[in-house]
């Protein structure tokens, strides 16, 4: 999670990178979720990977407890990222 403030907005970003096998070669795929809003969105519905979301938020909050002016947006972005990773893993494992 990265939070960056400008005069006009506060930007929230969640990013990750993972190895993927394409054509017998390992490549890296990067995903970035970027948002800026003053709205306080609800996090998406709970998933099987809620434990991962809670751990990620706990880690991020420990590193920058009071630097996030919109924690609801952060939680929503992390929840969306968690759902995306879970869907990708489920597809890869046939779950």
**β-bridge mates for residue 28, sequence order:** 19
- 3-class secondary-structure state, position 32: strand
Task: Beginning with the edge strand found earlier in the chain, give each strand of the sheet holding 10-22 in spatial order.
Answer: 2-5, 10-22, 25-35
Phi, psi of 7 (to 5 degrees): -65, -30
pLDDT of residue 65 exceeding 80: no
Tens-place pLDDT, residues 7-34:
878 888 888 898 888 899 999 999 999 8
pLDDT at 53: 67
Per-residue model confidence (pLDDT) at position 62:
62
Closest CA to 12 of 59, 62, 77, 57: 77
């Amino acid at each position: 999670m990265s939070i960056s403030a400008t005069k006009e907005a506060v930007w929230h970003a969640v990013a990750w990178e993972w190895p993927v096998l394409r054509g017998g070669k390992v490549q890296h795929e990067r995903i970035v979720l970027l948002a800026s809003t003053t709205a306080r969105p609800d996090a998406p519905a709970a998933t099987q990977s809620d434990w991962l979301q809670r751990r990620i938020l706990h880690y991020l909050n420990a590193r920058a407890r009071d630097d996030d002016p919109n924690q609801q947006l952060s939680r929503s972005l992390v929840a969306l990222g968690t759902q995306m990773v879970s869907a990708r893993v489920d597809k890869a494992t046939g779950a």
